[in-house]
Chain A
Amino acid sequence: MNLEQEQRDHGSGVLIVVEGIDGSGKSTQIHLLHRWLVSEGYRVFFSEWNSSELVKGTTKLGKKRKALTPTTFSLIHSTDFADRTEHQIIPALKAGAIVLADRYVYTAFARDVARGVSPKWVRNLYEFSVKPDLAFYFRVPLEVSLDRILTGRAMLKYYEAGMDLGLSRDINESFKIFQERIMNQYDSMVDEFGLTVIDGTRSIEEQQAQMRRIVAGHLKNHDDIYGPGRKE
């Protein structure tokens, strides 16, 4: 059985992902969702973007030497994602867990296309990915996210700021231009992939309440089909 066939049959698990530009508040929200699901007794597995042990060294090396082009940047991240899909996400879903992912394929589509990679090519690259049950997109105005990032953290990293693209010699300025490009890509994907948009300017509590309502509704429907199999 190949991966494509396998993923249609990923058991009774549920895949929930969060997306958004840096400083959109998505990591905070998925953390709170995680706490809630655990307290409700669900088996939860958390997977983070760019975290494969197998690929990490290569990504690090490429970034350190500034040796990555838009194409190899895209490919190395897809390799990382493939490793996590094969070794974490699919097995966890098969085991009936709720899998939470902080960033998913949409991050690659947004960033890589913002770097000039062909949208068609990068979508094909990730064709093996499991389609999420729910994909939340935390939308915030650029000024809000920039304010959160540029005051909250002292140092921007080279690739994070899109310095490889030569947008500006000033790293903060480059970051702004790059983030705007990424945000435009996210906005254009809302309809293409049916992303659930959350207004990231509302209070943390309001956003979390909205997220929990949507997730609870989904889990109820899911239980009707598969039976309540995920609780500890």
Chain B
Amino acid sequence: MARFKFYGEGIPDVDLESLSGRLIVLEGPDSVGRSTQLALVRDWLESRGHAVSYTGLSRSELTQQGLDQAKSGHTLGRKTMSLFYATDFADRLENQIIPALRAGYYVLSDRYFYSVCARDIVRGADREWLEGVYGIALVPDLTLYLRAEAEDIVPRALYGKGFNYWEAGMDLALGDNLYDSFLAYQARVIEQLDRMAEGYNFVTIDASREPQEIFTDLQNTITPILPKELGAELEV
């Protein structure tokens, strides 16, 4: 029996039986430290002998230019934005994730469609409609949710790339400056991710702690889905 299944209607002509890899998703708000953790997880999995394929949310080759242009002009309607991102996700799923799974890779996905949905819902999109659209998605083996409060991620955002118009949800007019808007917007996104954590069986990990502590938690959560015999073989 196939290990993988789709959330809904799925993608035509994909043979689920042929997917032998593992799909591990790391979710969480902007600037929560996902890339740091992903790099650690990647090294660790490779050291155990697994081939790892890494994929990030933005952007697929197909949509990168179009999305960047659209976002720089702030002329993107909400349905248009939802569907543009869905196109981006589908392209990544079909051209990166599925081929890697077929080749037996461990696919580490920096976010999945959950974040995109959370942002869309904050902007008034209908939950059921989105569930229908993302019925094309594969159910991951594991979704690790790095959870933090909006206040926790402010310093990282500030000392990192600085606040960005979209990450601060400025199009929603939640505050009259980037800082207030960022806090209010991120809190709403986190609220939506919390709601999804139940419905989509996320493993929630407290990301307000030190990176090493977080990584230990990630390792403990991932270990049970790894094949046990391989570790032993490599020891020999």
Contact = CB atoms under 8 A, between A and B. Distances in A.
B66 A54 contact: yes
B132 A69 contact: no
A58 B65 contact: yes
A3 B78 contact: yes
A62 B62 contact: yes
A76 B84 CA distance: 7
A54 B124 CA distance: 22
B66 to A, nearest CB: 3
Contacts of A85: 77, 79
Contact of B90 (A58, A71, A124): A71
Contact of B83 (A57, A67, A70, A75): A75
A126 to B, nearest CB: 10
15 contacts: A2-B125, A3-B78, A54-B66, A55-B70, A67-B95, A69-B90, A69-B94, A69-B95, A72-B90, A72-B91, A75-B87, A82-B79, A87-B75, A121-B9, A121-B135
Contacts of B77: 82-83, 85-87
Interface string A104-131: 0000000000011110110011011000
Interface residues of A, number: 35
Nearest to A86: B77
B133 A124 contact: yes
Contacts of A116: 12-13
A24 interface: no
Interface string A52-90: 101101100110000111111001101100110111000
Nearest to A115: B12
A79 B87 contact: yes
A52 B80 CA distance: 10
A223 interface: no
Contact of A2 (B10, B13, B91, B126): B126
A115 B13 CA distance: 10
Contacts, number: 105
Interface of B: 8-13, 61-63, 65-67, 69-70, 75-80, 82-84, 86-87, 90-91, 94-95, 124-126, 129, 132-133, 135-136
Given A71-B11, A85-B79, A4 B65 contact: no
A54 B80 contact: yes
Nearest to B11: A71
Contacts of B132: 121, 124-125, 127
A123 to B, nearest CB: 9
A193 to B, nearest CB: 18
A85 B223 CA distance: 48
Contacts of B80: 52, 54-55, 79, 82-83, 86
A91 to B, nearest CB: 11
Interface string A124-144: 110110000000000000000
Interface in A1-44: 2-4
A70 B14 CA distance: 12
A55 B77 CA distance: 12
A86 B80 CA distance: 8
A121 B66 contact: no
Nearest to A78: B83
A61 B75 contact: no
A115 B12 CA distance: 9
B129 A118 contact: no
Given A83-B80, A86-B80, A121-B136, A72 B129 contact: no
B79 A70 contact: no
A125 B87 CA distance: 12
Contacts of B69: 54, 57
Contacts of A61: 62, 65-66
Contacts of B11: 69, 71
B235 to A, nearest CB: 42
